Every structure is written in structure tokens, then in C-alpha cells.
Structure 1
Amino acid sequence: MADLILHHYATSPFSEKIRLILGYKKLAWKSVIIPQIMPKPDLVTLTGGYRKTPVLQIGADIYCDTALICDVLEHLAPTPSIYPEPGKGLSRLVAQWADSSLFWASMAYSFSGKGAADLFGNAPPELAKAFGDDRKAMSSNMVRLRPGDAAAAYKSYLRRLSDMLDDTDCLLGAFPTMADFACYHPLWFTRKRTPSMAGILQLTPAVVDWLDRMAGIGHGTMETFDAAKAIEVAAASTPHTLLSDSTFQDEHGIPLGSRVTIAADSFGPEPTEGELVAATRTHYTLRRTGERIGTVHVHFPRIGYVLRSVES
């Protein structure tokens, strides 16, 4: 199997979700650090437009969005499972809620008050402005919570998580599932990246204890890697997907082989264009070619992404 190459940066909460799963599954991986804001020329060379963080590369296969990356890691290392039966569907539903409602309440709260100073206090003012402008452009299709509304929602969500931990070490039982990893990363951001705002977590001691247990999992075996080398790996490889479903599921009247774009339906609207080579019940795949990358396949989850035909 080709190396796992994770394109990420240290303060990215969704990257922390994947780093922790890599640790849980005891996988070795290579780390390519990408910029927090645009431009991201090397990453976009691989993805064709998608710029959200993280991205997982395996040879010439480029996997976008952590929901899909988690499926790939589960395929590579099915034990220990992050989708154990009989609660597989429940763990996915909790994870989807965590990656949306919980995440955005956490972010709106954490960046309010002194949180922004935690992140940018020692940086020049233009850096904070550039970050704000970048995220504003990414969220142009969203309505974001005001700080007061976010604080109220966040406290309610933390109490619900605490209730789930009344008599068990993890949210859905004795062992971590996808629900735990998805709920962990927004709280990790508050705790580790905006410590001035982390007092809210002390209202739910059971959640703090759970955070400590999750943090103890670690990040697996990591090796630093270079973005240019990652592109060389893609150019020297042949796409070979690790996604198990392959049956064409046509919901749009767009046949395979068509020129299409795929973009997130809300946060991060930048489209990726390519040839549609898979549209299954769970994912889309685009074939792209370029001078630096050769031929790559870029994969997206179906949920949360919009498929459109490119007008000829």
C-alpha cells in the first residue's frame, strides 16, 4: 500500500479528528503542512480547487472531507473499528451533528471574547485580518451564530454530551466510535487553541475527563514530508481507490464520463472540475490530469456536496 499523506496544519480542528483516528488505528503517516489560508498552490494542484483541511493522499488518490477520509481509514484498518455494530448508523448520525451544529457553535464561541487574542495576539494585525477575510469568503453561503447564541448552544450541547457519559467511558459505549472523534475535535479547539475560553468546559466535568481519555490516544507514527514530494508521489502513481462501493447511482441525469464540477454545499464553496468516473451511493470521483500531477482521482463524499454538469 502507498503511504498515507495527510495535508493539514496544526491548529485545524478537523485535522485533529483525523490525526487522532490515525493514532487509534495505530497507522503510520506522512505530514505535509499546508497554509491556513489561501493561496494553497500545492494543495489545489492536487485537488483541482478544493481547499478545505485536511486532505488525505494515497498515491494518486486524493480524498476530500473527513467524512470520506474516515471511511478510507476504516477500510485500511478495520480493527479497532470506528463504526462498530450494532450502532454504526447512530455513530454516523452523531458525527454528522458534531461536524455541523456542535462545530459551528464551538467555533463562534471560541473566536469570541479573548479567543481571537489567544490565536492572533502575538501576530501582526494583518494576519488576523487575512484569516478573517479568508474564512468570510469560505462561509459566504452560511448564516453564522452570534457569540451569545453560540455560548448558549454550546453549553446545551456540552450538557447533552455529559449525559451520554453518565455510566460509560465513551459516548456510545466502552470504546471510541466515530461519534467520539467527531465530538472531540471542536472541544479540543476550545481547550487547546483558545484556552481563555475553555472555562466553559469545566461546567461538565465528565466531558473534561472524556477529553483527557481521548487525548491519550495520540496521533500514531508521523513523519514530516514535503508538499513537492507529495506531488511527485501523485505523478508517479496510478489511481486505485480504496472506497468499496462502485455501483453507479444516477440522481442527476449526468452520465459517467461527463465534465462536471463538485463543490461543498455550504462552507468552502470552491469547485473542483474534472471527468466524472464514479457516482455511488456514498461518493463521487473525478479524474483530473495536469503537468505536475499526471492523472489523479479526486474523491468527495456525496452528502454535503453538489454535483453539476459543465456547460459545453
Structure 2
Amino acid sequence: MTTPLILHHYPSSPFSEKIRLALGYKQLAWKSVIIPSIAPKPDVVALTGGYRKTPFLQVGADIYCDSALIADVLEHVQPEPVLYPPHLKGVARVFAQWADTTLFWAAMAYNLQPKGASALFAHLPPAAAQAFGEDRREMSAGMQRLRPADAAAAYRSYLRRIAHMAEEHDFLFGAEPCLADFAAYHPLWFTRQCVPVMADIFNATPAVLEWMDRVAALGHGRMEKLGAEDAITVAAGLDPLPLADDVFQDEHGIPLGSQVTIAAESFGTEPTEGELIAATRTRYTLRRTDPRAGTVHVHFPRIGYILRKAEATK
């Protein structure tokens, strides 16, 4: 690939760690753009049009949202080593979806209870902690969140289940890692690396820590820093990639060429508006134009996202 992979992320983002490890496993070269952890994110919005969850992947004038879709893109860019081994394609995806949702939210409710949150923001001014809390409350409006005691109990149960898997193999499903490992790892990584004061929850499952060490040893690939403005310039200077021939599987009665919005089902529901130019069996693609980034294609997975006609939201 001549067009560089540009990952927009920030260091303590769990889902970014999932993708950084996938890049490391495939030993890919990539550009690193550090973005703010909270709104406002004007440089992000210039590329995504509204989506502001972390990370997203830029390949020229194509913007890929959601770590599940980003993993698919990386598999296409460099098929070996595989994230989805042929005999594990289904189970790797199903397990990763569980880890990205059920496991993640239990872990984060445990991690960010008062003791963990205090440690996370110990070296920042009080206003920073308050702003982060307000930002995440806004992004999770309407979500049912676990209370800390319930989260701790669930997290311990999930760690025991992961330990049972890690005791049998070097990685969760065998001798080599797959997407399931990276998806399960990232919320646990946050506990261990970002709020280590909460990491005594691992004491009962040493096999989990040994597995985590093996995953961490895969590294992050070959990274070079890039400025946000430079990334926007890259998008503005290129045309989006051609679409595949099979671009439409109609599930909504919304024809291609319609103005639509796409938003996450739950967390981070800020919509992106644009022209629907593809709705395949696995993803949506919007064409949109930004004064700074030019014409871009913004891609979303179908699973976890809601497509609506734009006028229905006004």
C-alpha cells in the first residue's frame, strides 16, 4: 500500500490499544495522529463529519470508523498473519463483539469507580477530571451502567473465564493470537496500565497476566508521528478509493444517493450526515465534503450503527 495508514488515537484509549496491537501483530507501518480525549475535536470532525469515538483509521480520503471495521481493513491490507484464522472466523468475531461490549463496560465501570478515577487524574487539575466525566456522561446518555459492586463481580467472573482459556494455550484460541485476543486484552490493559491501583483484581488469575504479557510483547508495529493538520492535508489531496461493485443491500428502503445520518446505537451517538453511496452486507459508506478535508468517504460497520434518512432527524 502506497497510501499510509493513519491512526487517529490517544495513548490511554483502550480501543486504540486494540488496534495498535493488531498493527504490531501484522508488523505494519503507520502514522500516529494524537487526538483529544474529549470534545471539542474540530480536526476529527473535519474528517469524520460528527463521529468522535476513538480510534478511527484514515487511508488517504477514506475514513474508517469503529475498531471492528478497522480490524477488517487491516486484514485486507495485509492478510498475513491472520486476525481471523479460517477455522475461527465465526468464533473470533463473536467473542470480540462480546469483549468490546459486555467485558469492556464491566471493566470500565470497575476501573473508573472513585478510587480508579482519582488515580487516573491524580496529576491533572480538577477541571480536567470534571471535563472528562461530563464528556463521557454526554456520550453515554441513556445507557444503563453497572454499579461498581456489580461491575467488580462481573469482571472477576469474566477474568476467571479468560484464565481458563489462557491456561490451555499461549493465546485464547490456540498457539497464535487472533482478533479475540486483542479485543479481550484492551479493557484489561486499561486496568493494568492506566489505573494500576485497581489491578489487584488480577491476583486470583495469574494466567491472565501471563497471557497479557504475551499479547503486549507483540508491540505496536512501526509508528511515525503525524500532525492533525497534515492528516487533513493528506485527505484533501487525494480522491477516495473506488467502491466495490456490490455496494447495495437494501434493508431500510433508503436508496443510494439519499442524504442520511449514521450514528452508534448506544455510546457516542453523535450522527454523521452525508450521501449514502454504499450499503453492503457489512458496512455503510457516506460521501461528504468538508472545507478543509475535501471530499471523503466515511465508512461504518452495519453492526452497532443506525441508518436514518437525514430529514427524519430534523
Q: Same fold (TM over 0.5)?
A: yes
1:303 equivalent in structure 2: 303
SS of 1:203's equivalent?
Answer: coil
TM-score (norm 1): 0.98
1:31 equivalent in structure 2: 32
Q: What pairs up with 1:130-279 in 2 under 5 angstroms?
A: 130-240=131-241, 246-279=246-279
Decide whether aligned partners of structure 1 residues 245 and 56 sit closer, same or farther in structure 2, where only a CA change above 3 A counts. farther
Aligned equivalents of 1:11 and 1:20: distance in 2? Answer: 13
2:282 equivalent in structure 1: 282
Partner AA of 2:298 in structure 1:
V
SS of 2:260's equivalent?
Answer: strand
What do the CA deviations read for 1:176-225 (whole angstroms, capped 9, x no partner)?
01100000000000000000000101210111100000000000111010
Aligned equivalents of 2:258 and 2:207: distance in 1? Answer: 51
TM-score (norm 2): 0.97
Asked if the contact 1:281/1:302 (under 8 Å) is kept, the reply is: yes
What do the CA deviations read for 1:264-308 (whole angstroms, capped 9, x no partner)?
000001000000000011000000012211110000000000000
SS of 1:49's equivalent?
Answer: coil
Decide whether aligned partners of structure 1 residues 133 and 245 sit closer, same or farther in structure 2, where only a CA change above 3 A counts. farther
Asked if the contact 1:276/1:286 (under 8 Å) is kept, the reply is: yes
1:113 to partner: Cα distance? 4.0
Percent identity of the aligned residues? Answer: 67
Moved >4 Å (runs of 4+): none
Q: Comparing 47-56 with 110-119, which one deviates more in the overlay? A: 110-119
Q: What pairs up with 1:25-104 in 2 under 5 angstroms?
A: 25-104=26-105
Partner AA of 1:124 in structure 2:
P
1:246 to partner: Cα distance? 3.1
Structure 1, gaps ≥5 residues long: none
1:154 to partner: Cα distance? 0.0
Partner AA of 2:257 in structure 1:
G
SS of 1:150's equivalent?
Answer: helix
SS of 2:311's equivalent?
Answer: coil
Aligned equivalents of 1:110 and 1:291: distance in 2? Answer: 40
Partner AA of 1:127 in structure 2:
A
Aligned equivalents of 2:211 and 2:21: distance in 1? Answer: 14
Asked if the contact 1:264/1:304 (under 8 Å) is kept, the reply is: yes
Asked if the contact 1:31/1:223 (under 8 Å) is kept, the reply is: yes
What do the CA deviations read for 1:137-164 (whole angstroms, capped 9, x no partner)?
0001311110000000000000010111
Aligned equivalents of 1:100 and 1:141: distance in 2? Answer: 16
1:123 equivalent in structure 2: 124
Aligned equivalents of 2:302 and 2:50: distance in 1? Answer: 17
SS of 1:311's equivalent?
Answer: helix
Aligned equivalents of 1:195 and 1:72: distance in 2? Answer: 32
1:88 to partner: Cα distance? 0.6
Asked if the contact 1:245/1:281 (under 8 Å) is kept, the reply is: no
User: How many residues are paired up?
Assistant: 311
Aligned equivalents of 2:51 and 2:247: distance in 1? Answer: 25
2:294 equivalent in structure 1: 294
What do the CA deviations read for 1:86-130 (whole angstroms, capped 9, x no partner)?
111000000000000000000000111421122101211111010
1:112 equivalent in structure 2: 113
Asked if the contact 2:47/2:290 (under 8 Å) is kept, the reply is: no
Alignment RMSD, CA only?
Answer: 1.2
Aligned equivalents of 1:305 and 1:119: distance in 2? Answer: 30
